[in-house]
Amino acid sequence: MLDMKFLRENPEAVKENIKKKFQEDKLPLVDEVLELDVQFRAAKTRCDDLRNQRNVLSKQIGGLMAKGQREAAEKIKSQVTEMAQELAELEQAEKDYAEQVRKIMLVIPNIIDDDVPIGKDDSENVEVERFGEPALPDFEVPYHVEIMEALNGIDIDSARKTSGNGFYYLTGDIARLHSAILSYARDFMIDKGFTYCIPPYMIRSDVVTGVMSFAEMEGMMYKIEGEDLYLIGTSEHSMIGRFIDTILPEDSLPKTLTSYSPCFRKEVGAHGIEERGVYRIHQFEKQEMIVVCRPEESRDWFKKLYTYTVEFFRTLEIPVRTLECCSGDLADLKVKSIDVEAWSPRQKKYFEVGSCSNLGDAQARRLGIRVKSKDGKKYFAHTLNNTVVAPPRMLIAYLENNLNADGSVRIPKALQMYMGGKQIIQ
C-alpha cells in the first residue's frame, strides 16, 4: 500500500506506474482517492476545530456557573449541544472517508523499481543468468508421474477418490526423497544463518489483506467456513503476519527466518489443476525464506535470497536460470521479483520452481510493522520472501535430471545422509 502523502504529492508518477503495469482501469482511482482525501482532511480539520471550541466553551460554562450566571451558562450549553451533534456527524464522515481511502489504496499497485522490465505478462519476462549446463540424455525421459509410478512412489488415482483432482499419495522412496529434500533445505538455510520456524497454518483475514492483494486472495486462499480463518498458501503469509502491529528496534534487524509449512491453494485461473501430475496442485509442502529489514538493505537481501535458491539447486546437480519478472507479471504489492527456473530434459525447457520478491514497505504499511531507530524515529520496515524449495516441483526437476537409462534415479551426495546413505533409487 502506498503512502497517501506520496500519492498526494506525486499523482502523475502513480498513474505512470499503473500504466507500466497495464492496469489502465485503475487510473480513475487516483483522482477518486485524492478527492476523498480532501474530504477526509476537511472533516478531520473541522472535527479538531469543534473539539477545541467545545473545550473552550466548557471552561466558560464552569466559570459562569461559579459566578451564579446560570442563564448565560445555559445559552453556552445549548451551543455545546449543537456542536456535539455536528461533531458526531463529522466524526462518522471522517471514519467513512478514511475507510473509503484505505479501500482504494489497497487496490492501487506499489511503485515498481526503475530497472524492472516493462511487459504485459510472463511471456515478456527477461532471462538474467544460467547456472549449470542443460543436459539432454540419449534416452527418452518419461513424464514425471510415470517415473514415480515405476518406482512405486505415487498414487494419484486413490487420491482422486478421497480428495479429487490436485492431490496425490507419495509412497516408499519417493515419499522419503520428498522429506529428505525438505530436511536438507531446512539445514541449508540454517547454515546460512537463518532461524528455523514452523508457523501457524491458518491466519485471520486482517493478516491475509496485509500480505497480499484482493485478486491474489480470491484466486488462492481457502476460507474456513464459519470462522475468520484462512488456510495459508505459503508460510510467508503467517511469518510476515507474526510482526503485525509491532515496533522493532533497529538494532534487532534484519530478521532472517526460514519456515516450513504445508501450503493450500485453490489454483483458480488460466493454468488450472493438472489431471495427472504434481506441478500445479491444491496441497504441497515448502521451505521458505523471509527477511524483515531496513529499507536501505532490501536490495542487497533481494539478491542474496535468490542466489541461495540457485546454490541449493546446484548442490543437487540441477541446472537453473534466473528470470526477471516484467511489470505486468508483478503482483500489486511487489517492487521487484525474480523467478528461479529449473531445466526439464523431458520438455527441453526451463520451468518455475521458486520466486523471490521484494515488497518494499507495502506489507509493513498494511500490517503496521515499524522500526524504531536509536534517535526515536519510526519508519516502516521492508519485507522480502523467497522459495527455498517446494518438493512437488523440485521432484519433477530432480527426477528428470537424475534419471538413469534403466529407470533408476541417482541421489546426489548432498542428499545421501537424508536418504539413509542410499546412492540410488531403483
Give the single-character DSSP code of 373.
Answer: -
**pLDDT confidence of residue 19:** 98
Domain encompassing residue 91: 4-105
Does residue 334 form part of some domain?
yes
Write down the number of H helices and E strands in the chain: 14, 18
Asked if 51 and 150 sit in the same domain, the reply is no
> CATH code at 325?
3.30.930.10
| Distance from C-alpha of 137 to C-alpha of 359, rounded to nearest angstrom | 40
| pLDDT class of 181 with cuts at 50, 70, 90 | very high
In tens, the pLDDT along 239-249 reads 999 999 999 99
Whether residue 118 is predicted with pLDDT greater than 90 in this model: the reply is yes
pTM confidence score: 0.89
Asked if 226 and 280 sit in the same domain, the reply is yes
**pLDDT confidence of residue 68:** 73
Over range 66-90, report the average pLDDT.
76
Alpha-carbon 170 to chain mean position = 28
> CATH code at 72?
1.10.287.40
* Host H or E run for residue 353: strand 349-358
Of 389, 394, 388, 417, the closest CA to residue 194 belongs to 388
Q: What percent of the chain has pLDDT over 70?
A: 97
Higher pLDDT: 62 or 291? It is 291
Of 255, 245, 215, 209, the closest CA to residue 383 belongs to 255
Over range 313-319, report the average pLDDT.
95
| pLDDT class of 271 with cuts at 50, 70, 90 | low
Say how many domains are in the chain: 2
Whether residue 273 is predicted with pLDDT greater than 70 in this model: the reply is no
**pLDDT confidence of residue 75:** 76
Radius of gyration of the chain (CA): 27
Q: What DSSP string describes 285-308?
A: EEEEEEEEE-GGGHHHHHHHHHHH
In tens, the pLDDT along 277-294 reads 888 889 999 999 999 999
Task: Tell me the CA distances in angstroms from 323 to 145, 236, 299, 313, 351, one per residue in order.
Answer: 27, 21, 17, 15, 10
Whether residue 233 is predicted with pLDDT greater than 90 in this model: the reply is yes
**pLDDT confidence of residue 79:** 73
| pLDDT class of 109 with cuts at 50, 70, 90 | very high
* Summary mean pLDDT of the chain: 92
Asked if 92 and 215 sit in the same domain, the reply is no
| Distance from C-alpha of 236 to C-alpha of 227, rounded to nearest angstrom | 21
Asked if 192 and 87 sit in the same domain, the reply is no
Over range 365-384, report the average pLDDT.
96
**pLDDT confidence of residue 76:** 73
Buried b (16+ CB within 10 A) or exposed e, 366-383: bbebbbeeeeeeeebbbb
Burial label for 133, CB within 10 Å (0-12, 13-18, 19+), is exposed
| pLDDT class of 274 with cuts at 50, 70, 90 | low
| Distance from C-alpha of 330 to C-alpha of 128, rounded to nearest angstrom | 16
* Host H or E run for residue 35: helix 27-66
Asked if 21 and 86 sit in the same domain, the reply is yes
| Distance from C-alpha of 78 to C-alpha of 72, rounded to nearest angstrom | 10
Give the cell for residue 308. 541461495
Asked if 196 and 240 sit in the same domain, the reply is yes
Q: What percent of the chain has pLDDT over 90?
A: 81
Whether residue 156 is predicted with pLDDT greater than 60 in this model: the reply is yes
